[in-house]
Chains A and B, each alone.
Chain A
């Protein structure tokens, strides 16, 4: 049967040209890690803005809300962004510090039926976007991790345990490529820190399993230190 003449290889045709539009250095073959551009921490300015409080006042409240929403909407979908800068030739991950000992990645919960990437951009802008409302340039590169919460409990795992049919939360981590220069506004109740990879490595007591395994997760990328 006649096939569309212009679609030589079939599928997906238009993909190649568009993927070329990424940094020229991204000409890898599928499967090879992407090249990510990192810029020095000094390229970025950090301002402050009004506090952004968490939705839950306490831990039990948090799980209670999770239960209620699970009954109504099903599994919670969360997205978090891994924003990386570099210093001294080492990648640093931007983390929000709450209090003195609690760290988290920027991101949050998606609304029902919200697209993941758009949702992540929305959340990043809510958290770190400028107060004057100017558009922020978030380039969401790709998914670098999936974590599931099997019960209404703190533990999360990078897989769904075999006996669980309905995980309660699914968190997706995305690598976000920062623009060369940017201004971030950090809510007053948080501190934004840039944690070097060695600080996170093997430090799950300090940062939890998701953040402390970021060095391994990011190791597959080639970074370009600008």
Chain B
């Protein structure tokens, strides 16, 4: 009989059976990938013909010196992987793929639905242009464009608005607010997820459902998820929200976990666009009634034309409410419960129209189509369960677009613009000055300085550097202009004046900086966002440390630390 050999299958378990250990979970998930990784040959581009096409390359091999041809591929679902894209390209006949890099939301890592694809040959890139749009990836037709800024902006905008809201919870909303025409833009706060949104960030308006972000809800409303998703993708809710999705959305988030299914008259909701988390579908959802008290929006929100921009955006709204912290590590706002259950029910659908900040409109029934970004309406409405009016959600507080809310992308854009402005201004001014036309040179510089100061990121240290270099040039030219007017004997005076003015300038800089610092420190305390802007950390650090006299040295050290820290984090 088999047992004669008494095999004890478990005889080595004495030490305890550690389910977690031994890399098992990793192995489960990444078996194919990881196990084949160590061999390393998969990664080498071109080294292993058979494998090459199966592993999506993530970075151009270090030794590659050939030409690179890049294209943007967009209009993808946020769950479309690099493997999917690689396979699709392979089926088109593109075998010289170098790299695929997705654009993601930094705050939560979600894909923005577009990527840059780099291939080795122009033929491949042409093939991509021609044939890829004929294929379908997860129900969507990829859009292929050349790599230029315009296309990038388009994709970014698309990501913010329609496509599953890439934005993360509200925190980033402010920036989108600035950009989106859609007033409601605020990031697609997790559509529908609203109520317990906080965790839900789900972008795709439907996503919430499927992604089940509903943290509050005991479980993700998967029910709604899948169906809506495939349907009119959250992208672009034309004129508001795709009714189709809406109904679902409302049902979804609300349903699971919520004591009362939001089910409400979804149809009604749709027009409202993504139900603002805060706005409990006015009367639509059952159970909402109590909510209304909580959510400012109660009323019928007139269908906001705004497509659910980032669901996340919605989240912030909730915040206003009972301390709902959308972005926060998931905790459904304790405040919510006041009504006894996550009242949040507000339209499970993310009401695109209601993005944090834009809500103000939400409050009143008349949907002011793009509610002004101020989040006052929501600013912690009293009903809020007293969630510590967390500042973390900037939206609330910020009436002005506020720089901190900028996405990195925008920040970079603005910064590049400023840099260009300043360098061209300096060169023009120097030219003018050498030609003797000091007045126009000075004017050029002054204009440039004020332009930069007015920009959203004027507080950033890099911009301050730009401004100070402009000012130095300005002073130099001024001095020169005075010097040339007066006799040459005054040149030495001019020079010493220059020196003095420069040091004055530096002092002024320091003062300005400390002012900025204290201002930003305040803001820091008020808003705690997940956005890891180096500036913020830098400021924070500055705030913590007293300004030392050897500013430069400590500054260098701080730069290093900041870089270190921000990269670590």
Contact = CB atoms under 8 A, between A and B. Distances in A.
Q: Decide whether A and B are members of one complex.
A: yes
Interface of A: 1-4, 7, 11-15, 18-19, 58-59, 62-63, 67-68, 70-75, 77, 98-102, 104, 112, 115-117, 142-143, 146, 150-152, 154-155, 157, 159-168, 170, 202-209, 213, 216
Interface stretch (B9-17, B145-153, B466-474): B9-17
B568 A104 contact: yes
B10 A7 contact: yes
B139 to A, nearest CB: 14
Contacts of B14: 14, 18
B536 interface: yes
Interface stretch (B23-31, B360-368, B373-381): B23-31
A166 B82 CA distance: 9
List the 9 closest A-B pairs by CB distance, nearest first: A74-B37, A208-B569, A162-B79, A163-B111, A59-B567, A161-B109, A157-B109, A143-B20, A165-B83
B550 to A, nearest CB: 16
A71 B21 CA distance: 25
Interface in B276-332: 328-331
B564 A75 contact: no
Tier of interface size on chain B: 35 or more
A37 to B, nearest CB: 18
A152 B58 CA distance: 9
A164 B561 contact: no
Interface of B: 1-3, 6, 8-11, 13-18, 20-23, 25-26, 29-30, 33-34, 37-38, 40, 43-44, 55-56, 58-59, 61-62, 76, 78-83, 101-102, 104, 106, 108-111, 328-331, 390, 392, 524, 528-530, 532, 536-537, 540-541, 544-545, 557, 561-569
A71 B524 contact: no
Given A73-B37, A117-B21, A102 B111 contact: no
A99 B537 CA distance: 14
B566 A165 contact: no
Contacts of A162: 78-79, 81, 110-111
B10 A14 contact: yes
5 contacts: A62-B567, A72-B40, A73-B38, A146-B25, A205-B532
Contacts of B78: 162-163
B563 A59 contact: yes
Given A101-B565, A116-B23, A142-B20, A216 B329 contact: yes
Nearest to B85: A163
Contact of A19 (B11, B16, B40): B16
A73 B22 contact: no
A213 B18 CA distance: 25
A205 B58 contact: no
A164 B82 contact: yes
A218 B58 CA distance: 35
A165 B59 contact: no
Contact of B17 (A12, A73, A166, A208): A12
Contacts of B111: 161-163
A7 B13 CA distance: 13
Contacts of B13: 12-15, 18
A74 B38 contact: yes
Contacts of B8: 4, 7
A75 B530 CA distance: 26
Of A3, A11, A13, A68, most B-chain CB atoms within 10 Å: A13
A59 B564 contact: yes
A100 B14 CA distance: 45
Contacts of B331: 216
Contacts of B564: 58-59, 98-99, 102
Contacts of B44: 71
A101 B102 contact: no
Contact of A161 (B1, B104, B540, B568): B104
A112 B38 CA distance: 9
B563 A2 contact: no
Contact of B56 (A102, A143, A165, A205): A165
A206 B521 CA distance: 13
Given A1-B2, A75-B34, A163-B78, A154 B568 contact: yes
Contact of A151 (B55, B58, B108): B58
B528 A202 contact: yes
Contacts of B529: 205
A67 to B, nearest CB: 6
A173 to B, nearest CB: 11
Contact of B567 (A3, A67, A154, A160): A154
A102 to B, nearest CB: 5
Contact of B540 (A2, A167, A168, A206): A206
A223 B567 CA distance: 33
Contacts of A164: 81-82, 102, 109
Contacts of B566: 154
Contacts of B56: 165-166
B22 A4 contact: no
B567 A4 contact: no
Given A71-B44, A102-B561, A115-B22, A208 B568 contact: yes
Contacts of A167: 30
Given A12-B10, A104-B568, A154-B568, A163 B540 contact: no
B38 A101 contact: no
A57 B496 CA distance: 42
Given A112-B38, A117-B21, A157-B108, 19 more contacts: A4-B6, A13-B13, A14-B10, A14-B13, A14-B14, A15-B16, A58-B563, A58-B564, A73-B40, A101-B541, A150-B104, A152-B59, A154-B569, A163-B80, A163-B111, A165-B81, A166-B37, A166-B56, A213-B329
A163 B82 contact: yes
A206 B565 CA distance: 9
Nearest to B207: A162
B104 A71 contact: no
A163 B81 contact: yes
Of B25, B40, B43, B104, most A-chain CB atoms within 10 Å: B104
A112 B39 CA distance: 12
Contacts of A11: 9-10
A67 B390 CA distance: 39
Contacts of A150: 104, 109
